[in-house]
Chain A
Amino acid sequence: MSKAKQNGFGLAQANGVTNTDDSDKPYTTSLKGQPQTVERKPFVPRDDEELIDIGTARANTAATTAQPDGTQERGWAKKHEHETVRPQRPRTPAFFP
């Protein structure tokens, strides 16, 4: 378990506080008159974010700020790099063609 933690499993939960602070940005994500934009703030990348091009869709890694290269546990991303994210499932990787 400790090894799994080291390699990524559980790490997202530990570091998983999502940044929604737009105060340093030249744009705004919420308006006072629109409560839903205050209650439901979007993710705002920090300047030193490890995950680059945060909005761009990844073909074969489920990348997050905590896991910029996708799942590293037991070489998951490496093993499946020829697949798109959708069919990657444990034990039934080729369930859907």
Chain B
Amino acid sequence: MKQYVLNVQGHPLSSHDLPEQNNLHASQVVQQHAAYWDTDHDGVIWPLDTYRGCRRWGWNPLLCLFATFLINVNLSYPTGSSWLPDPFFRIYLDKLYKDKHGSDSMSFDNEGRFKPQQFEDFFAKYDEGNKGGLDVLDLLRAHKGQRFVFDFFGWSASFFEWLATYLLLWPDDGILRKEDVRRVFDGSIFEWKAEEYEAKQKQKKRGGQGKLRVM
């Protein structure tokens, strides 16, 4: 339990807290972003992997199904090595960088690296009042401001990505913290959120209030 208490207060995860992400250091940021779903470390994300990963956050099965559909159907083909689409809509992590799309914060570059300047720009431009994060209004302005012309794929992709980010973080005060968003980019918050949900469920079963003690 102590481990979660530390984490809620924003301390960095120790290597002990990151289970089995052993190829983390040899992977690009965009691969780290997706490593959470690749539970067997074979570099392939099947639709079932996506579904299970989302379920571990406590999301409704229908929502998970919808997310899996959007993610695997749309992002599988660019990562494949064949001209033909993958019949199982698998996503291959070694070519995940090919899933780059437009109309977003542009914090990933075309090779899958992370671009600090673009990330900082995004918050500098849209964090109105310098709150240290983005609320729903900021996100809507960001979505409008970051659009490329006629980039229907990018518009909808970034919309759903930020929607998913918001649903995952679900901040009490409605502000997506910059640090949490950063940890969405490198994927480190995904496992943490799953464990947080697990702990909540356990506490509920034990008859607690169903809410994590922060102190």
Contact = CB atoms under 8 A, between A and B. Distances in A.
Contacts of B111: 34, 36-37, 40, 42
Contacts of B112: 34, 36-37
A33 B113 CA distance: 13
B110 A40 contact: yes
A29 interface: yes
B128 interface: no
A31 B93 CA distance: 14
A57 interface: yes
Interface residues of A, number: 11
B27 interface: yes
B161 interface: no
Interface in A20-58: 29, 31, 33-34, 36-37, 40, 42, 55-57
B94 A34 contact: yes
Nearest to B118: A55
Interface of B is mostly: loop
Nearest to B23: A33
B43 to A, nearest CB: 10
Given A34-B94, A36-B111, A55 B27 contact: no
Interface residues of B, number: 14
B82 interface: no
Contact of A36 (B97, B115, B117, B121): B97
19 contacts: A29-B113, A31-B26, A31-B28, A33-B27, A33-B94, A34-B27, A34-B94, A34-B97, A34-B111, A34-B112, A36-B97, A37-B28, A37-B111, A37-B112, A40-B111, A42-B111, A42-B113, A55-B117, A56-B117
Nearest to B109: A42
Nearest to A56: B117
Contacts of A56: 117
Contacts of A34: 27-28, 94, 97, 111-112
A55 B121 CA distance: 10
Nearest to B125: A57
A51 to B, nearest CB: 13
Interface string B97-124: 1000000000001111101110001000
Contacts of B115: 55
Contacts of B109: 42
In the complex, which of the residues B28, B112, B115 has the most CB atoms of chain A within 10 Å of its own CB atom? Answer: B28
Nearest to A53: B117
A37 B112 CA distance: 8
A60 to B, nearest CB: 17
Contacts of A37: 28, 111-113
Given A34-B28, A42-B109, A42-B113, 9 more contacts: A31-B26, A31-B27, A31-B28, A34-B94, A37-B111, A40-B110, A42-B111, A55-B115, A55-B116
